[in-house]
Amino acid sequence: MVPLPEKSRDGLVKLAAYAAFAGAGVSLLNAVLTFAFTRALRDPSNAALEPIFQALHGISFAASWGLLVLVGVGLYRIARPPTSVSKIGLAMAIIGVTVVVLSTLVNVATAGIAIDLQLPHVTEAGQVLVALWLVLANSELRRRGFLSGWLTSAGIVFGVGVAWTSIGLWLGNPRFLGISLDLLVPFGFLIWQPWLGIALLRPLPVTDVET
């Protein structure tokens, strides 16, 4: 049996793969910083480190979420020709990520300043939009067979975790309806993203590539 010739993904899809790897790396760095600073701040003599920690945490949080825009563009590119669902999903991703990043950076910039520029629950609203994109995009990719069922199911689980956690924070109760799905968010950033990155870098059979 003669194997099919292969063709590499286009540049935007490759960029999305690298963004997925970078997002996982930044998220892991944020987790390590959170662990280290939490231990350090148990000692009252290290109280002066708290503003530094808050700034680093905010910046890395914004970076990890911001990279999801590139991931969204890559998922949009592989689902060709695009459908109305994929277009709506990409718009949700761009708007949601922009809201999360800007609101987080505003929080970092105004920390310790008397003027409060923060709007209530803006970050959570942006995260809910991103969650809707994750569910829509992965459902569409699974239905059309562009990515494996296991990978797209993991992306949907990530979206459900983001939505559940964000709605809980929005309502002032992290355990929304008495159930905590907090671990699904780091699962998405640390497991689903690099898994997706590997999938996006795999070459496609020429017969499967739109011309």
pLDDT tens digits in sequence order for the chain, 211 residues long = 334 344 556 789 999 999 999 999 999 998 898 888 888 877 787 777 778 888 888 899 999 999 999 999 999 998 888 888 889 999 999 999 999 999 999 888 887 665 555 566 888 899 999 999 999 999 999 888 888 889 999 999 999 999 988 887 777 666 655 555 678 888 899 999 999 999 999 875 443 444 3
Cβ burial of 134 (10 Å; 0-12, 13-18, 19+) is buried
64 Cα distance to chain centroid: 7
The amino acid that residue 10 corresponds to is D
Token look-up 């590997």 returns 198
3-class DSSP assignment, residue 6? strand
Ramachandran class of 36: left when φ > 0, alpha when ψ lies in -120 to 50, beta otherwise: alpha
Query: Hey, where are the domains in the chain?
Result: 6-208
CB 200 within 8 A of CB 152: no
Q: What are the structure tokens assigned to 91, written together?
A: 């718009």
| Neighbour-count burial for 16-32, b at 16+ CB within 10 Å, e otherwise | bbbbbbbbbbbbbebee
Intra-chain end-to-end CA distance of the chain, in Å: 25
57 Cα distance to chain centroid: 16
Distance CA(90)–CA(10), nearest Å, equals 18
3-class DSSP assignment, residue 69? helix
The amino acid that residue 86 corresponds to is S
CA distances from 156 to 118, 133, 136, 179, 194 (A): 30, 9, 8, 18, 15
pLDDT score at 24: 96
